[in-house]
Structure 1
Amino acid sequence: MLSFSLSLSLSLSYSSPRQLTKPGQRQQQQQQQQQHHHTKNKEKKATNQQRPNTNTPLPPQNHHLPPNRMQGQRVLKWLKGTLRCCRTLGFAVAMLGFLIWAYVWGVPIANSPYKLVSFGMYGLLLSLHVLLQSLFAFLEHRRMRGEQGGPRRGLAGTGGGGSSNASCSRTVALTISAYQEDPDYLKKCLLSVRQLQYPTESLRVIMVVDGNSREDAYMMDMFQDVFRDKDPACLVWRHNYHAWDPRTGAAEGEGSAGVDPQRAQVEELLRSRRFVCVMQRWGGKREVMYTAFKALGGSVDYVQVCDSDTVLDQWATQELVRVLDGDERCGAVGGDVRILNADESFVSFMSSLRYWMAFNIERACQSYFNCVSCISGPLGLYRNVCLQQFLESWYNQTFLGSHCTFGDDRHLTNRMLSMGYSTKYTARSRCYTETPAQFLRWLNQQTRWTKSYFREWLYNAFWWHKHHLWMTYEAVVTGVFPFFVAATVIQLFYAGSLWDILWVLCVIQLIGLVKASYACLLRRSPVMIFMSLYSVLYMTSLLPAKFFALLTINKSSWGTSGRRKLVGNYIPLLPLSIWTSILVVGMTYNTYKESQQNWSTEVKREETTYLLAGLGCYLAYWTTMLLLYWIWFRRACCRRSYSNDVTV
C-alpha cells in the first residue's frame, strides 16, 4: 500500500493539466490535438513533395554532431565515391580491352573444314549483347504491364472515369518548339494538344517560335485559331534572352537600367496564362527551349517537351506524370515515339521500324537499369526543380571552344543523369512525329544526331559511376562498334577472299533477321520482319556518315527542322562517295587477286561450293524481302486512308 500510494502521489504531482481536466474537456482537447497533428502532417508531406530527390539520399542534418564526426562522415562519403569511380573505370577499361582482344586476335570458337565458316569470340560477344538487350527489354515491358496494367484511367475534369490525386495535383507546362513548320503538321500537333486527357487547371501550353518575321506569323495565327476559346496570349518578342543589347535598346528608347522591357512581359505571360505563344528573334532550337524553361521558372512541377511536328496521344502526358510520381528518384521520363509519315517513302518506312526498335528494345532495356541515355524531344517530361538547377549550364554548353547548339535533348538527359537522378522510358505514353522522307534530308538528320552522340558520349563518361554498370557496358560496346565494323569491311575487301565478304554479308542479314523476328513477337506485328532491310542503309550511308560527323562535330545548325525549305546541303554526300570509292577499289582488287589463284585445288573447289550456296541464299533473301515490300506493304498502304491511330 505504501508503494502504491507513493507512486500515485508522484504520478499526480507530475501530471500535465490535460490529465487533470474533466472528461468532457479532455475529449475536446484530444480532438483539437488530433486536428493539429493532421494539419502538421499535411504540411510535412507537401514539403517533402517539393523537395528535390536524387538517387543519393539527402544528407542528414548533423549540425549537432561533433566536428570530428562530421569530418569523418565527409571522408567516408568521399571514399565511397572514389571507390565507385575506380570500379567503373576499371570495368570500362577491362571491357574495352576484352573487346579489342577478341576482335584483333580473332579467337575462334568453331570452324568448318578449311576454316571457310567460323564463329569467333567477338561474334559470341555481339550475340550475347543482342540476347541480353532483348531479355531486359522484355522484362521492362512486363514490369510496365504489371505496375500500370489495365485500362488507363481518366482524370477529373477531362471526361474520363476516375482520377489519380497525385497526377491531378501536379502542374505541367507543355512546351512546343517551332521553326518554319509545315502548316499541316503544326495544326495536327496543336489539335492533339487540345485532346490531352489532363486536368485543364493543371496544364499550360506554351509554343515558342524561332523567328519573328512576317514569314513566321502563320504559326502564331494557327495557335490563336486552334485555342481561340482558351483565351490565348500572344507576343512578338523583338529579341530573345541572349540577343538584347542594352546600348541598342537605350538608343531606341527601350528598357531601363539595361533590361529588355519585353522580357518581363514574356515571363509574366508564361507564369500567369495557360495558353501562350511567343515569337522571338531567331537563335536556334536551344534558344527556343531556353526561353520556355527560363520564363517558366519554378511556377510548375513538371516540364514536358514537344516538337511542332508531333501528334500526341491523348494519354501521353498523364502516363509520363504517373512515372515521375511513382519514383521520386526519377528525374526525367520519355515515351514511345512512332513515325507519322511511315508510308511516304522507303526511307521513312525504314525509319519507322528503326524507331520502334530503338525505343521498345534499346531504351526499354536502358530503362530496366534506370539509365535511359536520351529523352527524345518529341515526347519527354522533366522535373522542373532539377531542370532549373542546370538550365544555365545546359544552355552555355561548349565543346572544343564552340558553343553547342544541337543535341539539346541528349544533353538535357545527361545533365539529369549527372545529378544522380534516374531516367526512365514508358511505352504507355505515345506520340507520332514526322521523319524525313527524302534521302538527303534523312542523311543530314542522322549526321547531326551522330555529332551529338559522340560529343555527349564523352560528357556522359564522367557520370557512369553514379549509375548501374550496364550504362558503362552499353556505352563502351556501342561506342566502338562502328569502328570495328568499318575496319572489318575494309580488311575484307582488301585482304580477304570473295567468300569472306559474302559470309560477312550473310551473317549481317542473319543477325538482322533474328532481331526482326524477336521484334515481330514483341510487337505482335509481322511488319517488323522488314527491319532486317535496315542493314543496307546502315552499311552504305550511316557508317560513313558517322566518321564525317566526327570530323565536323563543331558545325552547328537546325539541320532538318526547317520543313518549309528544301534541303540544299549536299556535303554529307561526300563521305558516301569516298566510302563507295573505297569499296569499289577494294572489290576490284580482290576480284583480280582471286582470279590469279588456282581454283582446281581441293580447298578452292570447296570454297566454290560455299560461294555458290551463299550467293544463292543471299540473292533469294533480297528477292523475297523486296517482293514482299513492293507487293504486300505498298498495296496495303495504298488501300489505307491517311489516318493515324494513337491509342495505346
Structure 2
Amino acid sequence: MEVPVSVSKHLDVFDGGFLSVYLGTFGSVSFNEIVDGVDQMIPEIQTNPVPFLFQNTPKSGPRRAWTGPIRRLMTIAFALLILGVISWAYAVGVPLASDRYGLLAFGLYGAFLSAHLVAQSLFAYLEHRQVAARAAREKPKCSRRVALTISAYQEDADYLRQCLLSARALQYPRERLRVLLVVDGNREEDMYMVEMFREVFEAENPATFVWDGNYHQPWAPQVSGDGGKAGEVEAGGYVEVEAEDPGRLTVEALVRSHRCVCVAQRWGGKREVMYTAFKALGDSVDYVQVCDSDTRLDPMALLELSRVLDEDMTVGAVGGDVRILNPLDSWVSFLSSLRYWVAFNVERACQSYFRCVSCVSGPLGLYRNDLLQQFLEAWYNQKFLGTHCTFGDDRHLTNRMLSMGYATKYTSLSRCYSETPASFLRWLSQQTRWSKSYFREWLYNALWWHRHHAWMTYEAVVSGLFPFFVAATVLRLFYAGSPWALLWVLLCVQGVAAAKAAFAAWLRGSGRMVLLSLYAPLYMCGLLPAKFLALLTMNQSGWGTSGRRRLAANYAPALPLALWAALLLGGLLRSVIQEAQADWSSEARRTEARYLAIGAVAYVAYWALMLAFYWVGVRRLCRPRAGGYRVSV
C-alpha cells in the first residue's frame, strides 16, 4: 500500500514503539484507516496551524446592559461595603437583644448571618419551583451533538464499570452522542480500564488507543537536566507537541470518526486528561459533558442538562445534582452525603436563581463547546504564584465561562452519584485540595463580579470571610471568654445547624436530613483548620489524592488538626483555671452558673438525641462496600 506523502514522514517514528490501536473486542484498526483519517486532517492543520482563538484574555460574551468602568467601581464599592459592615458588626458586637446580665445576647452579626441563611433558603426554593415549572412546560429537544468525556486515574474497577454502564444507558439519541474515556496512565497496570471500556461498549464498535505521550509531553520525552534519564520530565515542564506528532493525529482522527473511544495516555494529571478530551474533540460537537470515572450517571442526566443550554443561549454551562454513591460506608461518607445535598440543592440552587453558579462540579457538568474551545489553552496553562495549576479544574472552567459574561446554572433534575472518601484522613485530604482551589479561584472570580448579578459579589464576600470569623470567634472564646460564653456560642451554632437541617429535611422530604446538624463539629474541628493549611499550600500542585485502586494514607492534613487541638486545649485549660479562681458569690455569677448548668444539660441531651437517631436509623446500616477497598490510616 502506498502511504500518502503528507502522513508517511510522521509514521516512521512508530518503528515498533509503544502504540496499539484497537477496534471492538478482538479486531484492530487497519493501517489504511489510520492513514485515511490522519490524511483528511492534514489540510485543516496546514490552513490553521495556530489556534489563534485561544488567548489568555477571554472574549466578551452576552454582557449586561451596563458593564463599563462605572459599574466596576460600583461593584468594588459594594464589595467593600459588605466587607466593612460585616467586619464592623463582628468587631463591635452590637447587641440587639440581651437579658439583664448580658448572658443571653443576640447581636447584629448573628442577625446578619440569620438573614443570610433565610434569604439563601428562599431563593433556593424559588429556583426549584422555576426548574419544575419549565420541565412541565417543555420537553428536551435533543438536537445538539454532545460528547461525554470521562477522566480516569487508577480507578476502582467496580466504580469504573458502574460509570461506563451508566454512560451507555444515557437517554439521548445515539447518533448525537459520543463517549470518550481518557485514562491518565499508559502502563500495563492501567490497561484494565481500557479492556473494561472495550467490554462495556462492545456493541458500539469502540476504538481504543494507547498513546505513549500526551499533548504536552511528546513521544520523545524531555530529559530533566544534564544527568537526567530518558523518559524523565522536568518537574513542572509542560511542552507543546508539534502538530505532526503521530500519536496526537491518531487520537484526533479516532475521536472524530468513532462514537466510543478510549485513550490511555502518558501520565500528566487530571487537567492533562481533560485537555486531551477537549482538544481532540475540537469543533466536532456542540456541547461537552464532563464526568469522573467514579460517577454513576442517572439515565436522564444529559437530557436535563442539555435542556438548560437549549432554552437559553446566554447560559454557558450548567451543573447537576451530585449525590453520594457510598453514603453508608462510614459516618464520614454519610455526613458528606447530607452536606452534598445541601451544597447543591440550597447553596448552588440559590446561585442558579441569580445565574452565577460558582462551580459546575466535575462529576456532572455540561459546557458549550464553542466557548470552551476559546479559553481552552488559557484554562490549561493557568498558573498561580508561578506554579502550573493541576487541580480545581471544574471551578476554573466555571470561572472562565463567567469571565466571558455567560451565565452558569444548576438543575436538580439532572443527577449523578459519585464516590466520596469513607476514611476521615482521606476526606480531609480531599477537602484541603478543594479549599486550595476555592481560595485561588476566589481571587480570579473577583475580577468578573461586575459582569453578573450583585448576589455573586455579596455571596463571595460573605463565604470568603466566614472561615476567618469562625476561627477568630473560637480562639477568642477559648482564651478570653467564660465557660458560659463558650457554651452559648456552641448552643447557637447547633441551633442554626438544626434550623438549616430542618429546612433541608422539609425541602427534600427526608427525615434523615435533620442529622445534617452533626456536620457542624466536623466542620469546626476538621475542615476549619484544613482551610488554613490550604491557604499556606495553595501553590502546591498534584491530583491531591491517590487512585482508588491503590489507596495511600496521607497524614499531612492531620498536622493542622493537631495544632488546632493544642490551641483549643490550651485555651480551655486557661479559662477553666481562671474561672475556678473567680468569685461566684454575686447575683450575676450565680445566674451564669445556673445558665451554665441548664445549657450543659440541653447540649448533652441534644447530642444524645441526635446520636441515638443516627445509631438507630443509619449506623446499623453502615458497612463497607462488598469487594470494596479499605484504608489503614
Q: What TM-score comes out, normalization by structure 1 length?
A: 0.83
Map of 2:499 onto structure 1:
514
Question: Post-superposition shift, 1:248?
Answer: 7.3
The structure carrying a bigger helix percent of its residues is 1
Map of 2:529 onto structure 1:
544
More off after superposition, 182-191 vs 625-634: 625-634
Residue identity opposite 1:437 in structure 2: A
Map of 2:540 onto structure 1:
555
Map of 1:584 onto structure 2:
569
Contact 2:387–2:541 (8 Å) recurs in 1: no
Map of 2:284 onto structure 1:
299
What SS does structure 1 have at the residue aligned with 2:323?
Answer: strand
Aligned mates of 1:126, 1:365 — CA distance in 2: 16
Aligned mates of 2:471, 2:621 — CA distance in 1: 37
What SS does structure 1 have at the residue aligned with 2:68?
Answer: helix
What SS does structure 2 have at the residue aligned with 1:114?
Answer: coil
Aligned mates of 1:239, 1:101 — CA distance in 2: 55
What SS does structure 2 have at the residue aligned with 1:113?
Answer: coil
In the alignment of these two chains, the number of paired residues is 554
Map of 2:124 onto structure 1:
137
Aligned mates of 1:80, 1:307 — CA distance in 2: 36
Residue identity opposite 1:143 in structure 2: Q
Aligned mates of 2:615, 2:474 — CA distance in 1: 30
Residue identity opposite 1:127 in structure 2: S
Residue identity opposite 1:342 in structure 2: P
Aligned mates of 1:482, 1:258 — CA distance in 2: 47
Map of 1:476 onto structure 2:
461
Q: Where does 1:229-240 land on structure 2 (aligned, <5 Å)?
A: 229-240=203-214
Residue number among 188, 193, 199 corresponding to 1:214 in the alignment: 188
Q: Does 1:593 align with 2:578?
A: yes
Question: Post-superposition shift, 1:557?
Answer: 1.6
Map of 2:92 onto structure 1:
105
Question: Post-superposition shift, 1:133?
Answer: 0.1
- Tell me, which stretches of 5 or more residues in structure 1 are unaligned? 1-51, 58-76, 154-163, 643-648
Map of 2:389 onto structure 1:
404
Aligned mates of 1:247, 1:143 — CA distance in 2: 53
Q: Where does 1:597-636 land on structure 2 (aligned, <5 Å)?
A: 597-635=582-620
Question: Post-superposition shift, 1:561?
Answer: 5.1
What SS does structure 2 have at the residue aligned with 1:148?
Answer: helix
Give a deviation string over 1:531-550, Cα, whole Å, max 9, x none. Answer: 00000100000000000100
Aligned mates of 2:466, 2:288 — CA distance in 1: 35
- Tell me, which stretches of 5 or more residues in structure 2 are unaligned? 1-58, 224-229, 232-240, 628-633
Question: Post-superposition shift, 1:346?
Answer: 0.1
Residue identity opposite 1:321 in structure 2: S
Q: Does 1:56 align with 2:30?
A: no
Residue number among 326, 331, 337 corresponding to 1:346 in the alignment: 331
Map of 1:127 onto structure 2:
114
Aligned mates of 1:247, 1:377 — CA distance in 2: 30
The structure with the larger Rg is: 1
Aligned mates of 1:395, 1:596 — CA distance in 2: 61
Aligned mates of 2:617, 2:370 — CA distance in 1: 50
Map of 1:270 onto structure 2:
255
What SS does structure 2 have at the residue aligned with 1:149?
Answer: helix
Distance change >3 Å, CA 375–CA 257, structure 1 → 2: closer
Distance change >3 Å, CA 101–CA 118, structure 1 → 2: same
Aligned mates of 1:609, 1:147 — CA distance in 2: 55
Contact 2:209–2:264 (8 Å) recurs in 1: yes
Aligned mates of 2:67, 2:360 — CA distance in 1: 29
Map of 2:38 onto structure 1:
none
Q: Where does 1:62-461 land on structure 2 (aligned, <5 Å)?
A: 81-149=68-136, 164=140, 166-167=141-142, 169-244=143-218, 259-461=244-446
Q: Does 1:523 align with 2:530?
A: no
Question: Post-superposition shift, 1:567?
Answer: 2.3
More off after superposition, 418-427 vs 547-556: 547-556
Give a deviation string over 1:254-299, Cα, whole Å, max 9, x none. Answer: xx98831111000011111100000000000000000000010000
What SS does structure 2 have at the residue aligned with 1:588?
Answer: helix
Aligned mates of 1:225, 1:577 — CA distance in 2: 47
Aligned mates of 2:332, 2:406 — CA distance in 1: 36
Aligned mates of 1:116, 1:446 — CA distance in 2: 36
Contact 1:440–1:567 (8 Å) recurs in 2: no
Contact 1:54–1:328 (8 Å) recurs in 2: no
Contact 1:190–1:226 (8 Å) recurs in 2: yes
Map of 1:36 onto structure 2:
none
Aligned mates of 1:127, 1:301 — CA distance in 2: 43
Aligned mates of 2:254, 2:515 — CA distance in 1: 48
Q: What TM-score comes out, normalization by structure 2 length?
A: 0.85
Aligned mates of 1:598, 1:515 — CA distance in 2: 39
Distance change >3 Å, CA 210–CA 53, structure 1 → 2: same
Question: Post-superposition shift, 1:636?
Answer: 5.2
Over the aligned positions, Cα root-mean-square deviation in angstroms equals: 2.1
Larger RCO, structures 1/2 (Cα 8 Å, 6+ apart): 2
Aligned mates of 1:311, 1:636 — CA distance in 2: 21
Contact 2:359–2:399 (8 Å) recurs in 1: yes
Quote the sequence identity (%): 62
Distance change >3 Å, CA 104–CA 205, structure 1 → 2: same
Distance change >3 Å, CA 560–CA 247, structure 1 → 2: closer
Contact 1:230–1:275 (8 Å) recurs in 2: yes
